[in-house]
């Protein structure tokens, strides 16, 4: 990881130079033996000259294409970014070239040419977790499959937070960037907003002086209000994902009644009132063992506590979700037939975030409107 931080420092210096020098200096700081550099011709060939029918996604900074490389032998996803994003692309490439973990999307290579940048990843045939949770093109995921996916995400985050010499904080943990391979194994797939922090064992804060960035509904409240980013910011975002997985709905739905629009506030209200079972995805109703349900809701609730110091580490979250899966498997093996009931005894939680106060909502809304970086997820 020392190579990563050194390379990123060089990139900051590189972009102080003229635009004509960017490609040359960019190439000089990349670890050539760890990732492949594609020519623009190869990128155009892979995407059939950026054919519209190969577009599989659109985002604020460009488009994502499905492509084929090496004489159509390998399917890939190619992110195309405009010139305004090239500096961020270079930092992302330096990081991606040196990360290796089964729960991170495999990075193949890059291209930078004619004022545009391209990132080439292994194609994820089962798309994103969000498309499975609340999309209409896939069958609903079974509960144990959802747990396994969440465990995979936690393991990927654990690697980024503690498995390297320096902490990596994503700032962008949400269902749309959790991709699924052919076996439905989770792969974290967006490092655009990552921040490199202190040595992973120091537990020091990462202070952000630029605009707050992230997606409305997923961003850590303390990060939004104070601009202080830590690994617990990713834990908060992952906690939101855990509730989406359980509830089968998006984090913000303005079509619902006001008290139900914000997923986390609604879940907290239900838990305090003893109606927590009402938040379960209808498809999962009666299929979750009570013991598993309690562990899962408790750990998800602890992730979205308002104060970062009160949240668990991602390693602790990983262990608890694994425990929840074990409880579900044991209960399923012992159960003969019928559906599970959901007793509410022991499911109260005093520190679960409640409905946002008007002041908190104003702060959140102001951040969302004043900063072009913080937006509602689409």
For residue 37, what is the domain's CATH number? 3.30.200.20
Q: Are 225 and 292 members of one domain?
A: yes
Cα–Cα nearest to 47, from 55, 58, 59, 36:
55
CB 242 within 8 Å of CB 295: no
Q: Are 232 and 217 members of one domain?
A: yes
Q: Are 147 and 11 members of one domain?
A: no
Q: What is the pLDDT of residues 80-134, one digit of tens each?
A: 987 666 667 777 888 888 899 999 999 999 998 877 889 999 999 999 999 999 8
Q: Are 45 and 145 members of one domain?
A: no
Highest mean pLDDT among 3-7, 240-244, 355-359: 240-244
Q: Are 270 and 211 members of one domain?
A: yes
Q: What is the pLDDT of residues 278-309, one digit of tens each?
A: 899 999 999 999 999 999 999 999 999 999 99
Q: What is the pLDDT of residues 40-59, one digit of tens each?
A: 999 999 999 999 999 998 87
Give the domain-ending residue among 90, 122, 154.
122
pLDDT at 374 over 60: no
Alpha carbon distance 318, 321 (integer Å): 5
Q: Are 213 and 283 members of one domain?
A: yes
Phi, psi of 377 (to 5 degrees): -70, 140
pLDDT at 169 over 70: yes
Assign residue 148 the CATH number of its domain: 1.10.510.10
CB 238 within 8 Å of CB 246: no
Instruction: Residue 52: give the domain boundaries.
Output: 2-122
Average of pLDDT values for 338-359? 55
Q: Report the number of distinct structural domains present in the chain.
A: 2
Highest mean pLDDT among 207-216, 296-305, 358-367: 296-305
Q: Are 143 and 256 members of one domain?
A: yes
Give the domain-ending residue among 122, 155, 173.
122
Give the domain-ending residue among 68, 90, 122.
122
**Predicted structure pTM score:** 0.85
User: How large a percentage of the chain has pLDDT more than 90?
Assistant: 52
Q: Which of 39-53, 135-149, 166-180, 337-351 has the lowest mean pLDDT?
A: 337-351
pLDDT at 10 over 70: no
Query: Which of helix, strand or coil describes residue 68?
Result: strand
Q: Are 279 and 354 members of one domain?
A: yes
């Amino acid at each position: 990881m020392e190579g990563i931080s050194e390379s990123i420092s060089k990139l900051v210096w590189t972009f102080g130079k003229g635009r004509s020098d960017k490609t040359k200096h960019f190439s000089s700081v990349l670890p050539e033996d760890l990732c492949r550099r594609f020519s623009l011709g190869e990128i155009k060939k892979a995407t059939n000259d950026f054919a519209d029918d190969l577009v599989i996604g659109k985002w604020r900074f460009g488009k994502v294409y499905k492509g084929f490389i090496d004489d159509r032998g390998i399917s890939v996803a190619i992110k195309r970014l405009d010139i305004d994003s090239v500096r961020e692309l270079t930092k992302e490439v330096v990081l991606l070239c040196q990360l290796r973990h089964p729960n991170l999307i495999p990075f193949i290579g890059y291209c930078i040419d004619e004022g545009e940048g391209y990132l080439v990843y292994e194609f994820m045939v089962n798309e994103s977790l969000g498309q499975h949770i609340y999309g209409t093109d896939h069958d609903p995921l079974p509960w144990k499959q959802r747990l396994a996916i969440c465990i995979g995400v936690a393991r990927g985050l654990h690697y980024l937070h503690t498995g390297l010499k320096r902490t990596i904080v994503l700032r962008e943990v949400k269902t749309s960037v959790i991709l699924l391979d052919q076996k439905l194994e989770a792969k974290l797939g967006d490092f655009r907003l990552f921040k490199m922090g202190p040595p992973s064992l120091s537990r020091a804060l990462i202070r952000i002086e630029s605009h707050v960035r992230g997606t409305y509904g997923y961003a850590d409240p303390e990060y939004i209000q104070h601009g202080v980013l830590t690994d617990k910011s990713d834990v908060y975002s992952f906690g939101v994902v855990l509730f989406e997985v359980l509830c089968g709905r998006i984090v913000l739905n303005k079509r619902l009644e006001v008290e139900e629009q914000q997923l986390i506030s609604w879940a907290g209200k239900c838990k305090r009132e003893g109606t927590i079972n009402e938040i379960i995805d209808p498809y999962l109703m009666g299929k979750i063992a009570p013991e598993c349900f309690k562990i899962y809701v408790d750990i998800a609730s602890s992730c979205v506590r308002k104060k970062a110091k009160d949240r668990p580490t991602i390693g602790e979250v990983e262990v608890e979700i694994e425990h929840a899966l074990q409880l579900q498997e044991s209960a399923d093996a012992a159960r003969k037939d019928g559906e599970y009931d959901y007793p509410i005894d022991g499911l109260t939680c005093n520190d679960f975030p409640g409905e946002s106060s008007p002041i908190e909502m104003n702060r959140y809304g102001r951040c969302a409107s004043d900063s072009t970086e913080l937006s509602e997820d689409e």
